[in-house]
Amino acid sequence: MKFRTEVDIHESENKIGIEDCIFSIGSCFATEMHDQFSQGQIQSFNNPFGTLFNPYSVYRAIQQVYDAREYQEQDLILANDSYISLDHHSSFDSRYAHKALTKINENIEAANQFLQNTSFVLITLGTSYIYEFLPKQQLAANCHKIPQKFFKKRFLSHQEITESLRRSITILRDICKENVQILFTVSPVRHTKDGMVENMLSKSKLITAIHEVIAASSDCQYLPVYEILMDDLRDYRFYKDDMIHPSSQAVQYIWEKFGNAYLADAAKVFINENNKITAALNHKTADEKNPKYQEFRDKLNERILEQQKKVKHKIFS
């Protein structure tokens, strides 16, 4: 007798190896996956424009990275005593224009270089809604706590969503390594401020568009992360206290499903050992000069050196 409706991720023929580069972009679930890769010491780059939610803003970020476009002061606006890019998350805001531009442009350059060596791209979309900044008639990735009267909120049309997805795929195929695998997910985080009915409509528009665009593409896949949380883990114990974001236990469950489908055996072993090393590194002691602790650290360093021999990139740096 079954008491759960399990949702599986189909096993991929293209596996992630220990030397592969993973690029993730989109909503906070992209960051959750990036954190898992990074902790396992797999090369990963996440959200060069900060957290993004809608497919148009994701496309625009990918295009800017591809072009290696350098932002100038005229690309910023001054609001709430900070210099702001409407293309970026508020984490790029600064009281000084040159500091905001330095962070923006350094991230674009680093992302451009990383993408050229990328074998897997993970795109996580959160909403079909977008905001237009009325004073500049510009679509915004983030509202930066600017008063709502300066924005017009609307749904992206089906054509706008599919066109954004197609353009993103075309760019990634050109800049990334040959036979790059592009993985799409829809964020399981409910945008409750939009309204529950509106949130479901927003997510359904994304799911429909993704499936339409990737139907005939062997290098593009849909990962049922949204469905795993909605149908497999349909219990509030798998959510954080806000009852919106998945708990660490839920993220770990999805990560294990993903790993079984996409990680090569060597990568699973490599990541598992690195996770154990990370846990050991986090061990605190009241006396660092204790001989037993020094012996513990020496053995730990030996394990790190053994892991380092397996890859060319620097780990635990």
Domain ranges of the chain: 21-266
The mean of the pLDDT values for the chain is: 95
* Mean local confidence (pLDDT), 148-159: 96
Entry pTM:
0.95
For residue 186, what pLDDT is reported? 97
Residue 267 has pLDDT above 80, yes or no: yes
Residue 279 has pLDDT above 90, yes or no: yes
* Mean local confidence (pLDDT), 39-68: 98
* Mean local confidence (pLDDT), 179-192: 95
pLDDT band at 91 (very low <50, low <70, confident <90, very high): very high
Residue 222 has pLDDT above 80, yes or no: yes
* Mean local confidence (pLDDT), 150-158: 97
237 contacts: CB under 8 Å, gap ≥ 6: 247
Return the CATH architecture of domain 21-266. 3-Layer(aba) Sandwich (3.40)
pLDDT band at 3 (very low <50, low <70, confident <90, very high): confident
For residue 206, what pLDDT is reported? 98
The tokens of 271 are what?
A: 């990541």
For residue 266, what pLDDT is reported? 97
For residue 11, what pLDDT is reported? 95
Q: What is the C-alpha to C-alpha distance for residues 56 and 150, in angstroms, rounded to an integer?
A: 20
pLDDT band at 160 (very low <50, low <70, confident <90, very high): very high
pLDDT band at 233 (very low <50, low <70, confident <90, very high): very high
* Mean local confidence (pLDDT), 120-134: 97
* Mean local confidence (pLDDT), 252-260: 96
* Mean local confidence (pLDDT), 260-279: 97
* Mean local confidence (pLDDT), 224-238: 93
Residue % of the chain over a pLDDT of 70:
100
For residue 283, what pLDDT is reported? 84
Closest-CA residue to 229 (of 264, 188, 262, 190): 188
